[in-house]
Amino acid sequence: MSRDSHTAVSKFLSYVLRHEPQTIGLQLDSEGWAEIDALLEGAARSGRQLDIEPLQAVVADNDKQRFSLSADGRRIRAAQGHSTTQVQLQHVQKQPPERLYHGTASRFLQSIESQGLVAGARHHVHLSQDVETARQVGQRYGSPVILEVDALRMHEQGCEFFQADNGVWLTRAVPGEFLRRA
């Protein structure tokens, strides 16, 4: 599969598995799982020809392991990043490392200084284990800025942290007192 069509399939899967499953008449369970047959049928009904092989190739090769298959191979879900209220993924709670990182754009800094990090449309704030990953996340929105999060101290004060199947760290919000420029 060409890189372009790989990206197109990945974007389509993100759209229906994280945000708008109803646009193809797809039902996700509360853990985010969809029947692959129903997804392919829903895609076809909506005029999008998607076959099982490219779908499996995107799951296997995805640069960020965005999608997982169930053990029986019949269901698929997005690892994280949901905004649809159909899903309340029970991520495994975990003690975070001392520091985590958040990449953002300089134009958001003023607002982040006054409100801390908020989840926005997604269910969680996304944090990275290393500075380089955070930089890649931040540069999607403009000139990147890296914020360091006192994750362990937050955790010790009762904030829950989760790690998604693909290693991304998640928490509900990060108050300003736990943030500094890296």
Site for ligand HQG, rule CB under 6 A: 64, 66, 81, 104-105, 108, 111-112, 115, 117-118, 120, 122, 126, 137, 141, 168
CB of residue 14 vs ligand HQG: minimum separation in angstroms? 6
Cα–Cα distance for residue pair 154/35, rounded to 1 Å:
37
Distances (CA, A) of 12 to 8, 24, 74, 132, 175: 6, 11, 18, 26, 33
CB of residue 2 vs ligand HQG: minimum separation in angstroms? 19
CB of residue 112 vs ligand HQG: minimum separation in angstroms? 5
**Choice between 41 and 105, CB closer to ligand HQG:** 105
CB of residue 108 vs ligand HQG: minimum separation in angstroms? 4
97 Cβ partners below 8 Å, 6+ apart?
129, 151, 152
**Choice between 25 and 142, CB closer to ligand HQG:** 142
- Angle of helix 52-61 versus helix 36-45 axis, rounded to 10: 120
